[in-house]
Amino acid sequence: MRNLRFDLFVLCVVLVTSFSVLLTGCGRKALEEKAGKPSKEAGSEAVPSTKPITEERVFYNFETDLHGWEVPVWAKSKTDYVATEAVLSSDAASHGNSSMKVMTDFPGDIWSAGLVEIQHYLDISPYRVISADIYLPADAPVGLKAKLILTVGSNWKFVEMNRSVLLIPGEWTTITASIEPGSYDWKRVVPNEEFAKDVRKIAIRIVSNRKPKYSGPIYIDNVRVGR
């Protein structure tokens, strides 16, 4: 009986020792991967900074011209895209004296969008966010939403924000998206180090999802990056 107890004790010691070895070696790696934790070999995952933006660079201030922004020809040919023209205007401005006025005609009974864009090769990788200010006149209805869209890389990949920002009538609304590696601000894309090095187009899309109905101007100003 004593020999049996001793054998059981030795077996327990061996099992505990083996389990400890597994946890400190391959076993720990497997358990961490199963739990969704990165292993040391995998490296730390990039996470966007949460520090305040202290420096900005304005690319398009619309003080003297539109800098090439326009309602694209392809959008004018589609019935569900309802921006008719983009012009310089002194009606409203978030900074300075003027902005880009986009004339729109949302019918209100179908999904429809007003879109303006610029084709401009940019390396904005030194920055953390991209932003734009949008003004909806006070007499406009509640319900219109906006987002930023980028076209990036040599394959001209179309990347839009994963959320739309509600525009408030009578106020300037800032839409912002992180362009840092690891950002989850974009649909089906998590930016890497190359994402913001080759931006080919910037677009802003305002949407009415069946409602509201609105016919009138929307103002865009101060398209910028920050870090």
CATH architecture entry for 56-226: Sandwich (2.60)
Beta bridge partners of 61: none
Task: Name which of 66, 91, 95 is nearest 222 in CA terms.
Answer: 95
CA–CA distance, 165 with 120 (Å, rounded to integer): 24
For 90-99, how does the pLDDT look when each residue is reduced to its tens digit (9 = 90+)? 999 999 999 9
Judge whether 204 and 90 are in contact, CB under 8 Å. Answer: no
pLDDT at 37 over 90: no
Higher-pLDDT residue of 28 and 155 is: 155
For 157-194, how does the pLDDT look when each residue is reduced to its tens digit (9 = 90+)? 999 999 999 999 999 999 999 999 999 999 999 999 99
Name the DSSP class of 39.
P
Residue 22 has a pLDDT of: 38
Q: How many Cβ atoms sit within 10 Å of the Cβ of residue 140?
A: 21
Q: Angle at CA 66, nearest 5°, toward 65 and 72?
A: 150
When the pLDDT of each residue in the chain is averaged and rounded to a whole number, the result is: 86
For 51-64, how does the pLDDT look when each residue is reduced to its tens digit (9 = 90+)? 999 999 999 999 99
CA–CA distance, 219 with 38 (Å, rounded to integer): 45
Residue 195 has a pLDDT of: 97
Whether the link from the prior residue into 191 is cis, omega within 30° of 0, is no
Instruction: Give the start-to-end residue ranges of the domains of the chain.
Output: 2-34, 56-226
Residue 46 has a pLDDT of: 86
